[in-house]
């Protein structure tokens, strides 16, 4: 059974460009807007949480540089912050992934038997 080219395009739009864009293209504007809003909210939340972590790290490093007279901090502290970004935000990354996958699965044609 061949898939309709319009559905193929919608699947690609939702999978590769933005969740909900495929629904929007197929005329399901409300559902498409909901997927886009949830994905956008997740990305904004993730960006804000990363910004807060990095700004705290920046202030700690600035204070340490002032205390040591300009010597660079231990390189492991950079790795610790990088790890902390993923450890403390795993649930946001998971939520964005679920919305993205759900938007693609929603478009996939189902047999109506």
pLDDT tens figures, 98-111: 999 999 999 988 76
- Within-domain flag for 16: no
Quick check: is 96 in a domain? yes
- Helices and strands (H and E) in the chain: how many: 5, 0
Q: For residue 75, tell me if it sits in a domain.
A: yes
pLDDT digits (tens, 9 = 90+) for 74-94: 778 888 888 888 899 999 999
Q: Does residue 60 form part of some domain?
A: yes
Domain extent for 95? 43-105
User: Has residue 57 been placed in a domain?
Assistant: yes
Q: Residue with structure tokens 């935000």?
A: 89
Q: Assess if residue 58 is contained within a domain.
A: yes
Whether 35 is covered by a domain: the verdict is: no
Determine, yes or no, domain membership for 49.
Answer: yes
Using a cut of 0.85, tell me whether the model's pTM lies above it.
no
- Number of domains, the chain: 1
């Amino acid at each position: 059974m061949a898939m309709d080219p319009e559905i193929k395009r919608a699947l690609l739009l939702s999978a590769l460009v933005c969740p909900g864009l495929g629904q929007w293209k197929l005329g399901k504007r409300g559902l498409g807007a909901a997927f886009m809003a949830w994905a956008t909210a997740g990305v904004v939340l993730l960006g804000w949480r990363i910004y807060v972590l990095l700004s705290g790290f920046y202030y700690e490093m600035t204070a340490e540089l002032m205390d040591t007279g300009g010597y660079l901090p231990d390189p492991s502290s950079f790795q610790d912050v990088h790890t902390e970004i993923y450890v403390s935000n795993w649930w946001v990354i998971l939520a964005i992934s679920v919305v993205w996958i759900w938007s693609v699965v929603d478009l996939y044609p189902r047999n109506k038997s």
